[in-house]
Amino acid sequence: MTSTLTAVLDGTELAREIRTYAAAAAAELTASGTPPRLAVVVATDDESSAWYVRSIAGAAARTGIRCEIVDLGPDVGPERIRAALRTLSADAAVHGIVLQTPLPPDASSEDLADAIDPDKDVDGANPLSLGRLAAGLPAFAPATAAAVLALLDHHGIPLSGRKATVVGRSTVVGKPAAQLLLQRDATVTICHRHTKDLAELTRPAEVLVVAVGRAGLITAEHVAPDAVVIDVGTNPTPDGALVGDVDEASVAGRVAGLTPVPGGVGPVTTALLLEHTVRSAARTRAEENP
């Protein structure tokens, strides 16, 4: 059986709703003397990273959140990056810290993220945040993984007892997305580059999350007619456009729902980073004024 209609699981409306909430909270916090502030540590001259950081800074500015870009340059060593993260962690006026990737070849975000204060770890990168997430304890989840769940909820997709497959097992997207789906009582399968027959594992999925970074990886043979597909991948095309990991032309009309790229997970991710930052600032405010 093939579905005839594929719902477009748009993320722009949800992102707007989250930003509206964050802007109201930011205004209140600023009025009460705790202006929310986000710091993004950059150590690369990668153009797509620069584009992403500019989009965070622009969205923050429109939301009333101060965003500081700490650009250390592409040649900086890991100790200097660690020192910057520690300084920001100790700065009471900073409420959110993001370590932007890619990093220089001798630096690894997995090694450095423990220098981010978990209370300010708004992109859930510190191993402590990830461990708490795995244990079902309160923590900031990586914003992209949180965006996957927020999109599924926004579009009313039930998760409890359903079969979910996540393709990709990175620390920043695949693994935390799988943890969040598990927390919501989905039955989760995780696939990665060593998975032998990908289609055999993706086809039974009622919810399919794809976070690989390979355009056209998922085609009609990988999906069931009733599947809801969340495409996290972002792949630049030679003509300057952006496509996901799912071959849209191949699966359109064959699945129940698909997120667009761009306009799906991306805007929700940025909005959630801002929401996490105001939540962190609100916690600081509450601690200062019990």
Nearer to ligand NAD, 47 or 287 (CB): 47
Q: What whole-number distance in Å separates Cα of residue 5 and Cα of residue 254? A: 7
218-221: long-range pairs with CB below 8 Å, 24+: 218/167, 218/245, 218/246, 218/247, 218/251, 219/247, 219/250, 219/251, 220/247, 220/250, 220/251, 220/254
Nearest to 170 by CA among 191, 197, 150, 152: 191
Nearer to ligand NAD, 224 or 282 (CB): 224
CB of 248 to ligand NAD, least distance (A): 15
Q: What whole-number distance in Å separates Cα of residue 4 and Cα of residue 252? A: 9
Neighbours of 134 (CB within 10 A): 15
Q: Where do contacts with ligand NAD occur on this chain (CB under 6 A)?
A: 144, 167-170, 172-174, 191-193, 195, 198, 211-214, 217, 232-235, 265-266, 269
Nearer to ligand NAD, 41 or 282 (CB): 41
Q: What whole-number distance in Å separates Cα of residue 238 and Cα of residue 148? A: 27
Nearer to ligand NAD, 29 or 215 (CB): 215
CB of 5 to ligand NAD, least distance (A): 25
CB of 93 to ligand NAD, least distance (A): 27
DSSP letter (8 states) at residue 282: H
Nearer to ligand NAD, 89 or 189 (CB): 189
CB of 255 to ligand NAD, least distance (A): 18
CB neighbours of 85 closer than 8 A, spacing ≥ 6?
41, 97, 99, 112, 115, 116
CB of 288 to ligand NAD, least distance (A): 32
CB of 234 to ligand NAD, least distance (A): 4
Nearer to ligand NAD, 3 or 101 (CB): 101
CB of 55 to ligand NAD, least distance (A): 10
Half-sphere exposure of 153 (CA within 13 A, CB side): 12
3-state SS track over 228-239? EEEECCCEECCC
Query: Is there a contact between 98 and 40 (Cβ–Cβ < 8 Å)?
Result: yes
CA-atom Rg of the chain in angstroms: 19
Nearer to ligand NAD, 51 or 161 (CB): 51
